[in-house]
Structure 1
Amino acid sequence: MKNSPYQDVLLSGGLGGLLKDYLDAEGLPATACRTRIASWEADGHIPITEWVSALALISRDYPKPALGLGIGRYAQARHFGMLGYLCLSSDNLGEVFERLSRFYALAWGGIVVPITRTADTLTIRWLVPEGMPTQSRMVQLSHETGLVCLVTLARLLCEAPVNPTAVEMGGPTPDQPSLYEQFFHCPVTFGAPAASLSFSSLSLALPIRTSNHSLRDYTERRAEARLGELTRRDAMLTALHTLLVRALHEGQPTIAHVAKGMGMSRASLQRRLQERGLGFRDFLDQTRLELARMYLADPRLALTEIAWMLAFSEQSAFSRSFKRWTGCSPFAYRRTMIGKS
């Protein structure tokens, strides 16, 4: 398993600093989480599964209501690498959102962040890749943390107070929904198909206190170059991963089926994988492993359901494969990550 099929979904390693700042401020030892994030490089990237696993460790050891609110309050521009510098050098809040939409892949690759506008409102949404378990408790926590980070960052950047006009989140309504409205100062809707934030047109004109035209042009050129590198590197594997996840859900994760979906022969797909030092079986196994880790973080999914979602003939086959990949059973992994017995 040389490469992760989620390598197109990469987060800024600087998010390790966000988690550390939260743990330090709250006085939480969190040894398991601190050990995990110690290897994250601030100017590098990490797979999304590393981020989800770190959140799961904090949630397991220190379960608190609205945990994402607690973590996101400590957000700083430096936690988001180059994307953070793009925000710091923008002229106004509207430009911050435009740059977030355009360059979001630099901090969270593989996530599409479109903007829609009306005469009075701008709405920014987070559209996750096909196959990502959006109803997973940990994925919901990740989205919650991200929304809070963005609003926290906007409030730090602007001279005047900034509040969204509406917030939407996936997943069920939490036990204490009032905590979210108290933070965002606006209505919060749960159970939405995609996470989103809406802001009034008046907010978009708010100036950024750190605006710098020289830095603005420089960071944008650097960001364009970096985004081009990421796109060229991941294009084929991104397409393959998307098709392979779909094939798993359809119960047809074969090289012949996937190659046909990519419009190439089986031999051509094998050759292109070999050029990247990969084999189809390894890529399939890693895809299953990364999805399994996400599914296992959701206690609502039974092991039989997960086995079916990963196109295994039966639960025992899934359990044997998972133990071969990780050295532990799915049940033991789930118990470690979310404290289930």
Structure 2
Amino acid sequence: MQHNILAAAACGITDFIERQGGRSHRVMLRAGIDERALERPTLALDLGAYVAMMEVAARDTGNDNFGLLYGQQFQPEMLGLIGAVALASPTLGAALDNLARLFPFHQQATETRFRRDGGLLRLEYRILDGRVVERRQDAELTMGMFANVVRACLGPAWMPEEVHFEHPRPEAWRQHEAVFDAPVHFGQRTNALVLRDRDLDRRMPAGDLARLATLSGTLVGIARGTGNPGLLDRLKAEIRACLPEGYPYIEDVAGALGTARWTLQRRLGEEGLVFSDVVEQVRRDLAAVYIRQPHVPITDIGFLLGYSEVSAFSRAFRRWYGVSPRAMRDRSMGTPSGSGGSGSGMGVPAR
């Protein structure tokens, strides 16, 4: 099933690619996106192609932090209807609540939540579409977009308390801390902006309740739904979120899905699946993405996939791909087998 995102999410992307030294036509061709579609902000693009476009753009420009920088300059008014909804909200708190509540209409098969966590607040975001495995660039640009919604109210000097990303720590991760002016943590359960519980009553400069109601209705009408993902997509999303903390047990995942263990097992059985096989598939797909990132040590990849020992990860990898993780990495980098290095590193905490 195709899930969509409104083309406003790619506002200015072709010019930005060119400024970063890439070729926008080449990027769109490889991602399978018609450049003409980007000229109509309310036109629906395939979510998978959109996310792929960001990954291709990072490779084409040679800028591994492409999404981070694209999001840094992405102002709310560029984001079409969902950006206008946030700006028309009466207060900052309402803006963030409306952003989280309505974002899945702008971008289907997406979970966004604005929730309290102790004395702090979290604006969380993750894609639930199981087709979309490699999605680092999208996560970084989205966190930048969200931060700029807050800055539209509190000014350009505002900074979050922390920023969380689900993907491994990039090589040039110091730039992330400079962009957000805050500590940035990688290998987390979800992407999130963490902010203090203050200023939520601050008035949005362009708040307009009548306009807000019109914009919200228009967005919902155009989207025609949030593209609710099926059981397998939601299951994969929860498994992926649990992996950095260890092997995901079915009881915990079933609870996160709001169902009983036996119900989940029965529904999987109806589709010819068992839970452990789905865990294996998620691990295998993520391993293929992470192994192509030479700055992420192989030991860290094992931990990010929920393995307590690198030897267990290496055995699983050989079972999936017929070669060792090191050999696959060397092959992807065009390096003769045995000459590449990838020690234990410090990208994620030891288990």
If the length of structure 2 is used for normalisation, what is the TM-score?
A: 0.62
Could you say if the C-alpha distance between residues 263 and 146 of structure 1 is closer, same or farther in structure 2, counting changes exceeding 3 Å? same
Q: What per-residue deviation string (whole Å, max 9, x for no partner) do you get for residues 276-310 of structure 1?
A: xxxxxxxxxxxx9xx98996797369xxx99x88x
| Alignment partner of 1:205 is 2:201 | yes
User: Aligned partners of 1:239 and 1:299: how far apart in 2?
Assistant: 29
**Contact 1:75–1:153 (Cα < 8 Å) also in 2:** no
Aligned residue type for 1:230 = G
Structure-1 residue corresponding to 2:35: 38
Map 1:45-84 to 2 at 5 A.
45-84=44-83
Q: Which of 1, 5, 13 matches 1:19?
A: 13
Post-superposition offset of 1:215: 0.7
Correspondence 1:168-317 to 2 at 5 A: 168-226=164-222, 229-231=224-226, 234=227, 238-239=229-230, 242=233, 261=267, 299=292
1:51, distance to aligned residue in structure 2 (A) = 1.3
Aligned positions, number: 269
What is the SS of the residue equivalent to 2:45? strand
> Does the 8 Å CA contact 2:25/2:35 hold for their aligned counterparts?
no
SS at 1:126's partner residue?
Answer: strand
Aligned residue identity for 1:299: R
Distance 1:340 1:196, change over 3 A: farther
Q: CA RMSD in A?
A: 4.1
Does the C-alpha gap of structure 1 residues 210 and 339 become closer, same or farther in structure 2, counting only changes over 3 Å?
farther
Q: Tell whether the 8 Å contact from 2:8 to 2:42 is kept in structure 1 after alignment.
A: yes
Q: Distance in 1 between matches of 2:334 and 2:56?
A: 12
Structure with the larger RCO, 1 or 2 (CA within 8 Å, 6+ apart) = 1
The answer to whether the 8 A contact 2:27-2:60 is kept is no
| Paired amino acid for 2:54 | L
- How far off is 1:78 after superposition? 4.3
Partner of 2:111: 112
Q: Which residue type is aligned with residue 35 of structure 2?
A: A
CA distance in 2, matches of 1:52, 1:265: 28
1:152–1:187 distance in 2 versus 1, CA, 3 Å = same
CA separation in 1, counterparts of 2:271 and 2:22?
Answer: 53
Q: Does the C-alpha gap of structure 1 residues 30 and 216 become closer, same or farther in structure 2, counting only changes over 3 Å?
A: closer
Equivalent pair of 2:119/2:196 in contact (CA under 8 Å): yes
Work out the CA distance in 2 between the residues paired with 1:80 and 1:213.
19
Q: Can you give the 5+ residue segments of structure 1 that lack an aligned partner in the other structure?
A: 247-257, 267-287, 316-334
Q: Which residue of 2 aligns with 1:99?
A: 98
CA distance in 2, matches of 1:200, 1:243: 30
Q: Does structure 2 retain, via aligned residues, the 8 Å contact 1:159–1:209?
A: no
Pair 1:141 & 2:125 matched: no
**Contact 1:121-1:200 at 8 Å conserved across structures:** yes
Structure 2: give runs of 5+ residues left out of the alignment: 238-263, 273-280, 294-300, 302-315, 323-330, 336-351
Distance 2:109 2:80 in 1: 16
